[in-house]
Amino acid sequence: MQTNKKSNNKRILVIGGVAAGSSAASKAKRIDPGADVKIIQDESVVSYGACGMPYVIEGIINDFEELIERPPDIFKNEYHIEVIVNTRAHKIDGSKKEVYATDLQTGREMIFEYDSLVIATGARALVPNIKGVNQSKGVFLIRNYGDGVKINARNPCNLILPINVFILFSTFLFLFLDISVNY
């Protein structure tokens, strides 16, 4: 198991690297430029505009890559924030101030030590216990970049198709999606 290096600087660990997580990491670095700031992100991308996903699906924005504000190398080179992508935190030991994570590509286990921890993982979709909902090819959950890309792959030319949308639970993201597909 790999452990991050100890440092005399304050260690700030952010779990989640979309809008809230990347903003928290950037703000922490502005407040304390000497801090060792790391972002753990379970996706391959970081710092993207999730609220823009419905506009890509609708065809107003051409490509999901246009939603990416800053790639990991920009965080490292310009802001001195390390971004660890494709890594999922699965355990927090508050007494030891350690986060246990797994590299989703290699399966390697890692331990990240912290002085301050920010959890900015967003919401998870709750799939209702309705017969057939998990087997249906027309049922989509949209929470992250990968979900949006999968939905868009079903309609690669952004054709306007006659579709019916039922949104069981709504956040601002789903409200935008509803508006995009119904008007």
State the catalytic residues: 51
User: What does 146-172 look like in DSSP terms, one character per residue?
Assistant: HHHHHHHHTSTT----------SS--H
CA atoms within 13 A on the CB side of 176: 16
140: CB partners within 8 A, 6+ apart: 147, 150, 151
Is residue 36 classed as helix, strand or coil in its secondary structure? strand
82: CB partners within 8 A, 6+ apart: 36, 37, 38, 39, 75, 76
Q: Residue written as tokens 């509803």?
A: 178
- The residues pairing with 100 across neighbouring beta strands, listed in sequence order, are 91, 111
The answer to whether the CB of 135 falls within 8 A of the CB of 124 is: no
The Cα 126–Cα 130 span in angstroms is 12
